[in-house]
Amino acid sequence: MSPTEEIKSRLDIIDVISEYFPLKPAGANWRARCPFHEERTPSFMVSKAKQIWHCFGCGEGGDIFGFIMKQEGLEFPDALRLLADKAGVQIKFEDPAIRSERQRMFNLLEAAVSFWSEVLWQERAAETARRYFMEERKLKPETIRAWRLGYALDSWEALINHLVKLGYKEEEMIKSGVAVRKMETRGRSAYDRFRNRLMFPIANTQGQVIGATGRILSASATEAKYVNTPETLLYHKGQVLYGLDKAKAAIKQQNLAIVVEGNMDAIASHEADVANVVASSGTALTVEQVRLLKRFTDNLAFAFDADAAGESATWRGLATVLSEGCQVSLISLPLRPDGKRFKDPDECIRANPKLWLEAIAKAEPMLEHYFRRAATEYDLTKLEDKQRVTKLILPLIGRLPDQVAMSHYLKKLANLVEVQERYLREALERQPSAGGGSVQRAANAVPAASAPVKDSRWAQSERLLAGLIAAPAQMGYAAAVTTPEMISPEYAALYREMVVFFTEQGGNDKIDWLGQEFAAYLNKNAANGVSPEQLSVLALLADKEFSDFTPLEIERELLSSVNRLKRGHLRVILQKLENDIRSIEQSPAKDEDRLASLFKEFQTVSAELAKMDNNKNSNRK
């Protein structure tokens, strides 16, 4: 048995979660209000039988390890350690050879950082560096020590000589990123990567040093302003955020992470007692970095350097953040006494820390910010400015995971650039969905302008399938009126298998969808791409939604889900017919016969839809 399996066999997920908050029984399962999103009615379900949890409000879910990672804000190895202690399981971490290599790298980097720090405080040659930190940047000595800032001497082998004395090999220094391999063969085989530079150690979330950034001390035309550790066994540029180890507690406590561009901005902010701040180090935020932050909060505020909207790399990274489902706001730096804008948070804080606090308090939701700047910084009477604004804002709207918000901002953009909303909507649907599923989902969804979120095809499909698990007698009805095409892509394959199994069983209306036989059937037909975990999640939903319902009530609920799915499906067909008709009408050689048959089909489908809508309205009365 692997350590994770052994831990799972010894611990009960109900006990572990109950240590954090109380769970109440719901059918065969347990439920609570979700700790990971705000809600009034409980959507957080835990299955004792399957040892999994799932929240039907925010979509988070997983096993006991996933819960601890999310709840405690830990990476997997640390969650493993925590649960191993709880379970009394002994674990050997990783391959001993790799483990000792990693450990030696951590130790080596630790020694390098101590060396740079000692040099900064002790060496006469570090006088300029000390003056830079304390006089130019006005940092307090305790801040410099807390962030372990240092100075790399203007030498080719000062650090190497020091590390050799401590017993490290040059090969190890190269692998750790502090030394560079030398081409000529005389003398040492490597030289110091960082020379005459101000040193900023980079730590992982636990505070272990994994790399460093070296900033040039005096402006130079030939040397880069910043030199970074290259990718190593420990350091992966796109997966760390500068200062997160020091900011994570404050981020969790305030449920907000502020992202700045420069390392100095983060340090200055912490010194001003605004500690929920990390630095992106001047590059576009990656998905991994956003997910790292999401362990601590879903609310991100960005304070980027003064810049024309949307023109730097950092701004472009914002689209990623939106599609990860974060609430994003933007902090605008205030104006200086001379009327120009502060160039970065560091400059603003050094002038007056109160201005920084005020700027944070005035953060605007991201799209509001874009709209305000578009209205003031562009000349919207000009066609090309309208196009630029649309190009800037429309893709961001497409990344919103929420239909209501998407609809709201589409209207707003349509008004701003004076274009009909439906053209924007069409442009949005034509957009490739690179890097995010939300655009895809939006395009597949019912094209009604203000479809409520709950009405989404995905939620209705999930509800229908959960209802069938709770009331197997309804399978015959569902199979007769619902085709797999009506079901959302997430659940279409599972539904198809359910229909096939039901048919093979000769229309048996007592199928236990969670039982051995259907599981064996799915197993045998694994190639059809249905994952058994989907059934476990649906079983939880069945308990959550239907455990207090009578069979008749469940039947009524299923009828309503089927109708909604069918109406949604008809609207998608109508939309497609409309597009086909338009493109034929616009083509030079109009195919009149085809056009006539499309029109006929359009009329049939819209009559059917109208009939369903009427029924729906009369049912409501």
Q: Which residues are near Zn ion by CB under 5 A?
A: 34, 36-37, 55, 57-58
**In the complex, minimum distance from the CB of residue 62 to Zn ion, in angstroms, rounded to a whole number:** 12
* Count of beta carbons in the 10 Å neighbourhood of residue 121: 14
Token reading at 79? 């969650």
| Residues belonging to the chain | 621
Q: Which residue's CB is nearer to Zn ion, number 36 or number 477? A: 36
Q: How near is the Cβ of 38 to Zn ion at its closest, in Å?
A: 9
Nearest alpha-carbon partner for 598 in 575, 576, 574, 581: 581
* Residue 322: CB minimum distance to Zn ion, A: 19
Sheet containing 209-216: which strands, arranged edge to edge?
Answer: 150-152, 197-203, 209-216, 226-228
Q: In the complex with Zn ion, which residue's Cβ is closer, 17 or 55?
A: 55
| Amino acid sitting at position 606 | S
Give me the DSSP letters along 134-199. IIIS---HHHHHHTT-EEE-S-SSHHHHHHHHTT--HHHHHHHTSEEE-SS-SS-SEEES--SEEE
CB of 513 vs Zn ion, minimal distance in Å: 25
Nearest alpha-carbon partner for 161 in 137, 183, 187, 141 = 187
Task: Please identify, using beta-carbon distances, which residue of 318 and 537 lies nearer to Zn ion.
Answer: 537
Nearer to Zn ion, 32 or 300 (CB): 32
Compute the least distance from the CB of residue 336 to Zn ion, in Å: 43
Q: Running DSSP on this structure, what letter comes out for residue 465?
A: H
Residue 37 vs 411, nearer CB to Zn ion: 37
The 3-state DSSP class for residue 554 equals: helix
SS3 264: helix
Cβ-based nearer residue to Zn ion, 277 or 293 = 293
CB of 22 to Zn ion, least distance (A): 16
The torsion of the CA quartet 555, 559, 560, 566, rounded to 10 degrees, works out to 160
Q: Among residues 298 and 497, whose Cβ is nearest to Zn ion? A: 298
Q: Given the complex with Zn ion, which of 58 and 180 has the nearer CB atom?
A: 58
| Residue 48 and residue 42 in contact, taking contact as beta carbons nearer than 8 Å | no
Nearer to Zn ion, 58 or 572 (CB): 58
- Give the position of tokens 């002790």: 122
Q: Give me the least distance between CB of 58 and Zn ion, in Å please.
A: 3
- Given 3-state DSSP classes, what are the helix, strand and coil percentages for the chain, each rounded to the nearest 5? 55, 10, 35
- Please say whether the beta carbons of 601 and 577 come within 8 A: yes
Residue 362 tokens, joined = 């005035």
Minimum CB–partner distance for residue 39 and Zn ion (Å) = 7
Residue 4 C-beta: closest distance to Zn ion, Å: 24
